[in-house]
């Protein structure tokens, strides 16, 4: 499947201090490194329309976050710390170190963008520039929750229920959850290539379901503690940040993304793209243009 979706890429598995991380790595070794991070409920396969093009200019690394895809799914704790964005960001820093990259460019979609945000704050010396796709900062989204947001992002409030309630409910209808969730956007199921969809289905196992619930539980608890501590200490993203979001999505309707990112980052630019939530699969060409222009 890697050869089909990411021609010319190789597969890597790196043992970090907290999990084993699976990634695909492009063939252009003597180029600036670019790390791509996916969101829920997907895997690195979301980048299959983007990464091969970017690999002509960058040493592209597309990884599975801990808990997702073929990466490890370590046991959790009562405070959900193993699935905090801090722990997930540390995985990615250690992955890039193992691959020989002391500094790198970074782009994240959805959950991956939240990991990217934490990575930039906790490891500012590692990231040269960062792009975040279709999110506002986690703390801002929780603090501004209203009825419209809660109805659109119902899964934020469902997945954080105490275990094993959401796990069992999803498990009882696991075949229908992916199309119900991913097909509910403005583009429906059209953006998802059969090969990528097969990967999402293959990886949507009970173990991933539990780990992804822990990801969301962490986001509603320990991650907010970390974000509030940043705000109190006035810690911000120091590197240039590009925020892109779908013009037909929830972030556009419910938030002012550039305003929110300017509260937590020093150098912010960006705008909307003509898509819904799944930008890398809905509008890959405009996204590639924006990333190449920003990262150049």
Q: Is 148 helix (H, G, I), strand (E, B) or coil?
A: helix
In whole angstroms, give the CA distance from residue 267 to residue 108.
17
| Annotation marks residue 110 as catalytic | yes
Catalytic residue among 64, 91, 110, 223: 110
| Environment class of 107 (CB within 10 Å of its CB; exposed 0-12, middle 13-18, buried 19+) | buried
Q: Which of 80, 101, 210, 277 is catalytic?
A: 277
Quote the CA–CA distance of 246 and 18 in Å, as a whole number.
33
E strand or H helix at 210: helix 206-219
- Kindly report the number of other CB atoms within 10 A of residue 216's CB atom: 22
Token pair listed for 199: 């990967």
Is 277 assigned a catalytic role?
yes
- Residue holding tokens 């305003």? 259
- Pull the structure tokens for residue 140: 């801002």
Closest to 238 measured CA to CA, from 114, 73, 83, 122:
122
Distance CA 22, CA 231 (A): 32
Catalytic residues: 110, 277
């Amino acid at each position: 499947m890697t050869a089909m979706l990411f021609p010319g890429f190789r597969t890597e598995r790196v043992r970090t201090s907290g999990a084993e991380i699976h990634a695909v790595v492009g063939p252009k070794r003597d180029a600036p490194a670019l790390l791509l991070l996916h969101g829920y409920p997907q895997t690195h396969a979301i980048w299959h329309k983007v990464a091969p093009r970017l690999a002509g200019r960058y040493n592209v690394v597309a990884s599975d976050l801990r808990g997702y895809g073929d990466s490890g799914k370590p046991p959790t704790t009562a405070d959900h710390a193993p699935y905090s964005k801090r722990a997930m960001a540390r995985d990615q820093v250690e992955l890039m170190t193992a691959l020989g990259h002391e500094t790198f460019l970074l782009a994240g979609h959805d959950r991956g963008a939240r990991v990217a945000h934490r990575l930039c704050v906790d490891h500012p010396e590692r990231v040269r520039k960062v792009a975040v796709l279709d999110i506002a900062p986690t703390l801002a989204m929780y603090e501004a929750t209203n009825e419209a947001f809660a109805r659109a992002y119902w899964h934020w409030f469902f997945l954080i229920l105490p275990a094993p309630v959401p796990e069992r409910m999803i498990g009882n209808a696991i075949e229908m959850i992916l199309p119900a969730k991913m097909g509910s956007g403005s583009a429906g199921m059209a953006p998802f290539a059969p090969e990528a969809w097969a990967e999402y289905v293959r990886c949507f196992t009970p173990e991933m379901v539990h780990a992804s619930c822990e990801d969301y539980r962490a986001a509603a608890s320990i991650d907010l503690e970390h974000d509030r501590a940043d705000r109190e200490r006035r810690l911000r993203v120091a590197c240039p940040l590009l925020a892109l979001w779908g013009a037909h999505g929830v972030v556009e309707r419910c938030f002012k993304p550039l305003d929110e990112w300017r509260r937590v980052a020093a150098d912010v630019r960006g705008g909307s793209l003509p898509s819904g939530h799944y930008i890398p699969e809905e509008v890959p060409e405009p996204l590639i243009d924006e990333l190449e222009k920003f990262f150049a």
